[in-house]
Amino acid sequence: MNQQPETSSSERQPGRGLALLLISMANLFSAPVIFLLPLYLEKELEYSGLQIGLVFGAFNITAIVGAMPFGFGNDRRRSRVLVAVSCILVCIAAFALSGTARFLLFVAAFIVFGIGVNLFRISLDALIYRTNLHGHEGRGLADYHSFRHAGFGVGILLASCFLDSIGFPAVLVVLAIASLLMLPLAWRLPPTGTFQHDIETYRADLRRPEVYLYLAWMFLFSSHWGAEQTSYALFLRHGLNLSTAGLGLYMFGEFVAVCLLLPWLGRRADKGASLDKILLAGLLASGIGHIGMIYPHVAVSFLFRFIHGFGDAAVFLLIALGAARLFSLERIGGHSGLVMFVTLLGAFTGSLAYGPLGDAVGWGIPLAVSGGITLLLIPIYLYARNLAKNA
């Protein structure tokens, strides 16, 4: 193994703050594309439910193919270099998306967008894991995901307020310009250590029952993101009859729930709270929230979506803590790529199933079905955990 020394704790801590700023900025400008795009595809470009599912399916499958190479790349190259590359890719893709309505060209540009977004996320994840989190993993990772979701929430809220007046192509141009402006910040990130391990070393890390369990429930849970990608915004528009601004306010509330709960959960985890209990409570809240949100009354639906946000906050933290505690930091890039691979595979599977389902029977049904699958993960997890303990 060839290893370059990592920076000291004192040098890395300021870099973590810059990483928090970058993740919130990136999500502030990319959130409208990820969450509001189905409205544009349906209304302005007149894509069918199947086409919408294929757009997001292509986005996810490309990210799936790239996830593990991106992760390995972050073990072998400076993460800040890859963050800078991702900013350039997103800039190019956003400009291309703003200027085309043809389905195949749009899919091609969205694939590039997916590569850039996921390279950015994996690279910052790897950098955050390698900052000085020892003894404070829960707090550090919770803060990271809080900044991430704060960016999503504010981005959706702002875009929804101006979307009808400026149009979606203008939102894409803003994203492209913002990506260029983030380049200088990316170069200021601290230089992380680089490591060279053969593939067998990575495989050896995975040959444990708890790793199999972790990856399996993560795949099943992430399938509900496929329902959200294809059906969430369209349900709010057609099922609850929300305006674009009302849709943004609704979505913003969920991110408030995530950001409120994550810091508290992170500190509880650092103090020894049961991670099993946090996970099970999160699955329960996430599943119930997804099912209840299709109730055709805005206030009731919003309450259940808020509950869903609490559940997702718990699961987000457990995914991050699971990677931090299961895998060596020297190989965290490759393994965080594996984590991304599994979650994207779940979302891809969900988008292909739930896009046509929503088009055929109504956009609320995929949300309810995916919520039911999330609830089924509770007995599945308990059974698999017992098997792992007795293995």
Residue 4 belongs to some domain of the structure: no
Residue 355 belongs to some domain of the structure: yes
Q: Count how many domains the chain has.
A: 1
Residue 290 belongs to some domain of the structure: yes
Residue 1 belongs to some domain of the structure: no
Q: Is the pLDDT of residue 173 over 70?
A: yes
CATH at residue 42: 1.20.1250.20
Segment 71-108, tens digit of pLDDT: 888 787 788 889 999 999 999 999 999 988 899 999 99
Segment 268-317, tens digit of pLDDT: 988 888 888 998 999 999 999 999 999 999 999 999 999 999 999 999 89
Q: CA torsion, points 93, 173, 97, 24, in degrees to nearest 10?
A: 60
Residue 264 belongs to some domain of the structure: yes
| Burial environment of residue 184 by CB neighbours within 10 A (0 to 12, 13 to 18, 19 or more) | exposed
Segment 117-144, tens digit of pLDDT: 989 988 888 888 877 566 678 888 899 9
Residue 149 belongs to some domain of the structure: yes
**What range defines the domain where residue 68 resides?**
11-192+201-390
pLDDT band at 214 (very low <50, low <70, confident <90, very high): confident
Residue 86 belongs to some domain of the structure: yes
Residue 152 belongs to some domain of the structure: yes
pTM summary value? 0.82
Query: Mean pLDDT across the stretch 237-241?
Result: 92
Q: Which residues contact 21 (CB under 8 A, 6 or more apart)?
A: 147, 185
Angle formed at CA 253 by CA 247 and CA 259, multiple of 5 degrees: 140
